[in-house]
Chain A
Amino acid sequence: MANMKFLCDSKRCIECNGCVTACKNENEVEWGVNRRRVVTVNDGLPDETSISVACMHCSDAPCMAVCPTDCFYKTDDGIVLHNKDACIGCGYCLFACPFGAPQFPSKSSFGERGKMDKCTFCAGGPEEDHSPEEKAKYGANRIAEGKLPMCAEMCSTKALLAGDADKVSDIFRERVIYRGHADGAWASNGSAEELAYDAAQPKA
């Protein structure tokens, strides 16, 4: 059992949108749906910084807490998935999500939202693994094959990391120490489980 997390190393992300393309291609998501996106702050300035963001598979997931149909569930690997058959497209998960992850395809009459779609950590959905239904509704199920999400696998600079929180944080901690934080800039209240990197800490 793992506790799956994404981590985007903002020092390495070069805004190539490779992860976005990999995700679109692997999951064959509908037009207008972007499960993953890259946001660049201070674009064009010397301190330009990009981050790739999608569903972060929150530990205490806000989407799960507000969904009226209670259609979300957490896998043993800590991945937050949802059942599209029960989703009514109310949009509440999007109101609550810290990262703007939930997406709504097909604006039908009066802008009524379709069924919510979001990053599945390439873990499919409640349907049988690798069934056509699962593929059509949720896209790829790489986790069932023992593989990690396509976006992170395709990242050219290895900025986007995906995997067990322990492993991901070890890799990141090593980078941070190499960059000059003797203590790895680890938040004092953080556990490796939750990836509490405190960027606000001064260098040692």
Chain B
Amino acid sequence: MQIKLLLKLAALLISLIILPVKAEDSVPSEQRVAAFAGAEYWQVIRQGENGTTQSSTAEAGNLINVQGDYWRYWRNQWITPAGAFAVGGTLGLLAIFYLIVGQKKLDAPRSGNTIQRWSRLDRANHWTVAILFIILGISGLSLLYGKFVLKSVMGDGLWASYMLACKLAHNYLGPLFVLGLLLMILRWMKHNVFNRTDLTWFIKGGGIIGNAHPSAGYMNGGEKIWFWLLTLFGIAVCVSGLILDFPNFDQVRNTMQWANLVHAAGSLILIAASLGHIYIGTLGTEGALEGMTTGQVDETWAKQHHDLWYQEVKAREAKDTV
């Protein structure tokens, strides 16, 4: 009995001594550890695998931000140069156009009679959005291109304050622009539905060159295009801008990268198009700007550029006086 127990104990002791040696197999620990975290491990890490971490910062568990490089590529290699070409190119074309064709003059002398085109509310809405657009445009362009041009001109101190001002203006005026633009879109949409008249207007190239005067109602085809560009890209720019403006909703980097690309591309298209709008509304067409400043346009101008609308107004006046 006792011998049996002793033997058992001895066997246990021997196995306790032998087993660990067997398990170690005389391979140093570092070489055994080297077996895991091999090729597949690094592949998933490179693809943006998430792990656990004690850090409480957003997305801290993500080791490699894979999309970051795509974002950098699209922003720096495509949007930055393409936007410069679009905006610079439009500016250049308009300058050449002005030099060659010049201002579109009134065909006949001013009649002296004016008609109401834009109400006070319309004008207030337009100029609010316009001024905000210009501030946001300049600050936005500075954020994208400033470092190539302004930084060396301004010097470190001024550059830092200027960029901070750009960012603050952009962040705080942005939401006001959203409100103004939405109001404008809602109020003016009814004027901007495309119809047959616009088709002929487009076929005749809007009468931009030469003396052709394609018919147009309250808004011509070109103005309608500008309206719908502003609606489409404007809403995209507003939505993406709000995503970027309020990082307190814990949106992830990927969302903000997309928002940034949409925001930059959309606003560069709008900035380029706005140059055309500004040119036509000021330098390019005699008698156009006063409609948006005073609200009144000369009858000669109305007849020449918006004949169908002119007739409508006249018909309404005639009916009212009867």
Contact = CB atoms under 8 A, between A and B. Distances in A.
A107 to B, nearest CB: 6
Given A88-B163, A111-B246, A37 B34 contact: no
A11 B51 contact: no
Contacts of B65: 97-100
B171 interface: yes
B163 A69 contact: yes
B36 A46 contact: yes
A49 B33 CA distance: 10
Interface stretch (B15-23, B68-76, B281-289, B304-312): B68-76
Contact of A68 (B61, B68, B144, B156): B144
A96 B171 CA distance: 21
Interface string A32-65: 1110011111110011011101000000001001
Contacts of A113: 247
A94 interface: yes
B24 interface: no
Interface in A164-193: 175, 178-180
Interface string A62-104: 1001111111000000000000011011111011111110010
Contact of B43 (A99, A100, A112, A200): A200
Please classify how large the interface on chain A is, using the bins under 10, 10 to 19, 20 to 34, 35 or more. Answer: 35 or more
Please classify how large the interface on chain B is, using the bins under 10, 10 to 19, 20 to 34, 35 or more. Answer: 35 or more
Contacts of A65: 72, 76
B246 to A, nearest CB: 6
Contacts of B61: 39
Nearest to B156: A86
Nearest to A11: B33
A17 interface: yes
Interface in A121-151: none
A10 interface: yes
B31 interface: yes
B69 to A, nearest CB: 7
B26 interface: no
Interface string A1-18: 000000000110000010
Most chain B CB within a 10 A radius of its CB, from A42, A68, A200: A68
Given A100-B60, A111-B246, A180-B31, A85 B160 contact: yes
Interface in B221-272: 245-249, 253, 256-257, 260
Nearest to B59: A100
B147 A17 contact: no
Contacts of A10: 37
Contact of B72 (A11, A33, A66, A86): A66
In the A-B complex, the 3 residue pairs with the smallest Cβ-Cβ separation, listed nearest first, are A111-B248, A179-B34, A37-B55
